[in-house]
Chain A
Amino acid sequence: MLGFLLRRLGIAICVAITVSVISFSLLHLSGDLATAIGGPEATSEQIEQIRVQYGLNKPLPTQYFNWLGDLLRLDLGDSFFFQESVYNLVASRLPITLGLGAMALGIALLVAIPLGVLAAVKRDTWVDRLALSIAVLGQAMPSFWFALMLIVVFAVTLKWLPVSGNSTMLHFVMPAIALGYYATPAIMRLTRAGMLDVLSSDYIRTARAKGLRPARVLFKHALRNALIPVVALAAVEFGFMLGGSVVIETVFSLQGIGQLAWDAIARDDFPVVQAVVLLIAVIYIILTLLADVLNALLDPRIRVR
């Protein structure tokens, strides 16, 4: 198992490096950075100055390795727009996005897993069909639109929740719902499929033959096995949520890294954009690695004693 992990780690690192290259080239090859930084009013001398100042006159590979070197020392450079180091910017906003993502995932799991179990137990009845319909409908809504509709209904009409800002927990409820609902159908379907699979297995029949009560059979014996792939999926979905936070945070004006990325994109603040894209990719890579590890840990058949 250790070999398996090390191999995965190796691939993960290679992928991370590739993403960093892509992230780097995306911005540096898209046009003359110096001109972009200088702005439309800059004179050619000023642009030349900027070029030297930011090391943009060196060959591209050199620039990349310099950037990479800085990166590994956690020196992400300074933002073009904010008078701050990128590191500080990201570090101050990351907790909010992580918190949002965790809450979104929590909501998704809390809704999707019981729905999936219910759909499996009441297979082919109206309950099952309703749950699947909810799932299908959920995947069809654009997240930003859902967010806006939530605002219209809960903040404006019912006045239950605040519209924007991030000072209290309540501020996170709607964003978390808007972010989490997209993962609900996938988790629900996987739970349902897993439960259906497990419920028809021989050891469940044994559990019933032992006279265990239906609830115990369901939750102790069946769920434990059925949820193994769901844990892995949840880790992956969390990664998607971090990526999708851009849209949600923009709509709700939450000061997370999604909003930061969007502000930076709008302002051509390249160091910030690079850093955020790379950060999310790295987190995502770690999460998929974690998913594989969790899978191996939880499935006792894979675990080697």
Chain B
Amino acid sequence: MSLLHVENLRVDIPMGNRPTPDDMLHAVRGLTFEVERGEMLCIVGESGCGKSLTSLALMDLLPRNAKRSASRLTLDGIDMIGQSERHMCDLRGNRLAMIFQEPMTSLNPAYSIGDQLSEVLTRHHKVSRKDAIARAAQMLEKVGISNATERLRQYPHQLSGGLRQRVIIAMALMCEPDLIIADEPTTALDVTIQAQILRLIRDIQKELGLAVIFITHDLGLVARIADRVAVMYAGEIVETAPARQLFENPQHPYTRGLLASIPIPGRTRPGEALGSIPGLVPSLVGEQQGCAFRNRCAQAIAACAQDIPEVEQDGHMARCLFATPAPEPIRLRERARS
């Protein structure tokens, strides 16, 4: 049984002052995926595709006016949709934890690092503050922070961005969660620090056997750390596959377009133009039908205006009428034909 089971997750946000059903923004439209124990799943997509909202929806931390629903949302068999807020609080930080994008503002400036770290442990388990602090020191060391005891007494403003993000990772690990959701944890950091944090997350994940959902817009990152990849577009998952298969045999036109638009060392020849995907992401306000990518897709046909079923084989899923289950390698540099 998979650790996390998500079926038909939806997030709808009413727009405007007195919204009618036509004013509903369908930000996440029927997501279905699974995460196995110890697996690193990367959710890739451009800004606005709904990936951050997905992570918040999993944690039930959506903004007040957003509505979430799902046919099934279970973590290790525990139902998370019908859960009362009280029980969700028991799960958060404990069985599933989250790492956010902005380390500079994600820690409370008024309390020490040690305070904020130990707080997670004392909240969920019956440990004394002393023991919690000791464990916090352990965690700090695990995430590569030396002088742990001194750091515990410091305040967030005394730490750099990279250090703060390490603290936040340590905070997520305090209760040894089964699943960690990381929402673009390296995007706001310097490039050199990015690499360090990335390596850290990967190493810890392997060492502790954690399941991680890593959300990012950067395909390069995905290539380095992912076990499996889910590609999101306009609120839907358009393709899921083990990492290697995705890069070698992308089935969905969007995925191919994405891959064509990034330079791949060893394959892209210098001086060669990168591809791009013409058109814009469609508006998700009001009722939706059919493939959301069809207005930008060179292969679109009339049938694409109807809801597209998933085509799956051997763990590789694509939501496209043209998806071929056969594992044939395709030339990666396809230009979009207008």
On whether A and B touch (CB less than 8 Å), the answer reads yes
A contact set with B: CB distance below 8 Å: 201-203, 205-214, 216, 221, 224-225, 299-301, 305
Nearest CB on A from B213, distance (A):
14
Inter-chain contact B61/A300, CB cutoff 8 Å: no
Contact sample, A vs B, 11 pairs, CB 8 Å cutoff: A201-B105, A202-B102, A203-B106, A203-B108, A206-B100, A209-B93, A210-B171, A211-B123, A213-B86, A301-B109, A305-B155
Asked if B124 CB lies within 8 Å of chain A CBs, one says yes
Which residues of chain A are near B119, meaning CB under 8 Å?
A: 210, 212
Inter-chain contact A205/B61, CB cutoff 8 Å: yes
Cβ-neighbour of A300 out of B88, B91, B109 (below 8 A): B109
Inter-chain contact B109/A210, CB cutoff 8 Å: no
Asked if B28 CB lies within 8 Å of chain A CBs, one says no
Inter-chain contact B61/A203, CB cutoff 8 Å: no
Which of chain B's residues 249-302 have a Cβ closer than 8 Å to chain A? none
Inter-chain contact B100/A205, CB cutoff 8 Å: yes
Cβ-neighbour of A212 out of B91, B93, B111, B168 (below 8 A): B93
Which residues of chain B are near A224, meaning CB under 8 Å?
A: 108, 110-111
Which residues of chain B are near A300, meaning CB under 8 Å?
A: 109-110, 155, 157
Nearest CB on B from A64, distance (A):
48
Inter-chain contact B107/A206, CB cutoff 8 Å: yes
Inter-chain contact A211/B100, CB cutoff 8 Å: no
Which residues of chain A are near B158, meaning CB under 8 Å?
A: 305
Inter-chain contact B92/A206, CB cutoff 8 Å: no
A212 to B64: give the CA distance in the assembly, Å: 18
Cβ-neighbour of B105 out of A202, A207, A209, A216 (below 8 A): A202
A145 to B88: give the CA distance in the assembly, Å: 52
Inter-chain contact A211/B124, CB cutoff 8 Å: yes
Which residues of chain A are near B111, meaning CB under 8 Å?
A: 221, 224
A210 and chain B: residue at smallest CB distance: B93
Nearest CB on B from A301, distance (A):
5
A210 to B132: give the CA distance in the assembly, Å: 15
Which residues of chain B are near A216, meaning CB under 8 Å?
A: 123
Asked if B59 CB lies within 8 Å of chain A CBs, one says yes
A212 to B88: give the CA distance in the assembly, Å: 10
Known: A202-B100, A301-B157. A209 touches B59 (CB 8 A): yes
A202 to B93: give the CA distance in the assembly, Å: 16
A224 to B110: give the CA distance in the assembly, Å: 7
Known: A202-B100, A210-B92, A301-B157. A225 touches B168 (CB 8 A): no
Which of chain B's residues 89-145 have a Cβ closer than 8 Å to chain A? 89-94, 97-98, 100, 102, 105-111, 119-120, 123-124
Q: A209-B92, A224-B108 are in contact. List 7 more A-B contacts (CB 8 A).
A: A202-B106, A208-B92, A209-B59, A209-B98, A210-B93, A211-B123, A300-B110
Which residues of chain A are near B91, meaning CB under 8 Å?
A: 211
Which residues of chain B are near A206, meaning CB under 8 Å?
A: 100, 106-108, 168, 171
Closest 3 A-B residue pairs measured CB to CB?
Answer: A211-B93, A211-B92, A210-B93
A270 to B218: give the CA distance in the assembly, Å: 78
Inter-chain contact B105/A203, CB cutoff 8 Å: yes
A211 to B97: give the CA distance in the assembly, Å: 9
Most buried by B among A209, A214, A299, A301: A209
Which residues of chain B are near A201, meaning CB under 8 Å?
A: 105
Which residues of chain A are near B98, meaning CB under 8 Å?
A: 209
Inter-chain contact A211/B108, CB cutoff 8 Å: no
Nearest CB on B from A203, distance (A):
4
Which of chain B's residues 148-170 have a Cβ closer than 8 Å to chain A? 155, 157-158, 168
A209 to B93: give the CA distance in the assembly, Å: 6
A209 to B100: give the CA distance in the assembly, Å: 10
Which residues of chain B are near A305, meaning CB under 8 Å?
A: 155, 158
Most buried by B among A202, A211, A216: A211
Cβ-neighbour of A211 out of B109, B120, B155 (below 8 A): B120
